Structure 1
Amino acid sequence: MSNFPHNPHSSDSSGPSRPAGPPRSEFRDGLDYPRLGSIGFRRGTLTENQQERWDEYWPTLGRELSDELIDIPAWFGREGAKTILEIGSGTGTSTAAMAPHEPDTNIIAVELYRPGLAKLLTQIVLQDIPTIRMVRGDGIEVLTRMIAPGSLDGVRIFFPDPWPKARHHKRRIIQSGPLHLIANRLKPGGVLHVATDHAEYAEWISELVTVEPLLEYKGWPWPECPQLTDRQLLTKFERRGLTMDHSIHEFLWQRTDAPDDREL
């Protein structure tokens, strides 16, 4: 597929599960981060066709979590394009649906579940979408280890695991620490977009909308948002939520132009 440049630094992971490198990063900024223990990949089996596509295209379109910063222009084969990182892309339904509507934007989809990435990879290949790349790993670790400060134009977190039991709330990704980390990786003017269909998680997020001073909360909707916010179709999580009479709650922030003088 000629639209996709060769990436000699990508690693191929064709087995069902691989270790994800060193243990989770430690932060000393006094903020709250998800506590999930060491990183591990969810197991999953690919179909024969998925495996064939994975073997052929993953070395170009995908990467495993590592301690190497991503050279975004080199990986996408173009200079000056906006870049949005999507944490927890799942099977890539909205990722693939949105990409054709923002051809001037690089999309980095981050996901732990290999079959989900394989489904997105299939959509990329069959629909000839040249603007999506994938990283297999935990979103916080990818941001910490692989994304340079001030290099992103946007971060998307659609329908993160709500961890509904009270004893599991510490595992939620929307906390003061990740909000600071995301703000650090965004360029001034960059956008954070979060969506959930879990009412209690929406309340949790609502209590944190102003906790990060580098993120200006814009609410929802925000007509002047400089990037696409319409997911173009309902994901399986949205459809399931709506059948259960759940409401979709959306949150938008914009990175201020103030410098980040705090250590992560």
Structure 2
Amino acid sequence: MEIHIRAGLDEVWDRSQLPDRHQRWDLRFSEIDYLPCAPGEPQHFRYATRVLPLLTVDGTGVSAGERNRPDGTRTSALRFSSAHPLSLIREGRGYWRYVPDGDALRFLTGYDYRPRWGRFGRAVDRFLFRPLMGWATAWSFDRLRLWCERGITPERSLCCALAELFVRTAAVLGTAAVVPVVAPAAVAVVAVLAVTAAALLLPPTPITPAARRCLRRPPERAAGRGGNSGAPTALLATLEPS
């Protein structure tokens, strides 16, 4: 996945690499904490996702970054795993690429993981969890873009998203409740379908994060557009599984 951010490289790097800033915009994580490590070693970390108010799924990982590459780009690679019995993800790996593009930045990511729970887990992953993770990644990338470009904090952009969802839902439910009372059945059905289509298809406001603003492409095409495509792989090779 990729998004174009009109912001400086250092700003995007800090907001995506420092745990206290990263966890503010990334919908996939509720907590990210660095773990103690010796100088010169890759950085170990703990992550957690609050699934329900009283249920948190956590895991650990290890990451390394290259801030000063000869081509002017930066790369961050990580491996992660979870021993939590309710975590669908057993282990995985991924990378982030930061590619200067004039006065802006191309921010890219690629990741993959191995699910648990056997055949059932693979089915859940393919049809539900992986598409949901892809959407959450893209939505979060746009949330980061709004923070960097417009100064809209992640907390405010979440409120905007919830408010817009409420308005769209209320429009559909209101139409479904009122129109059948004052119009023939056929007209009511058409009206409800039209309002529902509008609620689903109309673009979000400029201050609301949207996954559709994030460019998605197959892995082989993404590798060919990120500058030195071998950089993430080379960096991953230096990391032991978490």
Q: What is the TM-score of this pair, normalised by structure 1?
A: 0.26
Query: Which structure has the larger Rg over C-alpha atoms?
Result: 2
Determine which structure has greater relative contact order: mean sequence separation of CA pairs < 8 Å that are 6+ residues apart, divided by chain length.
2
Task: Identify, as 1 or 2, the structure richer in helix.
Answer: 2
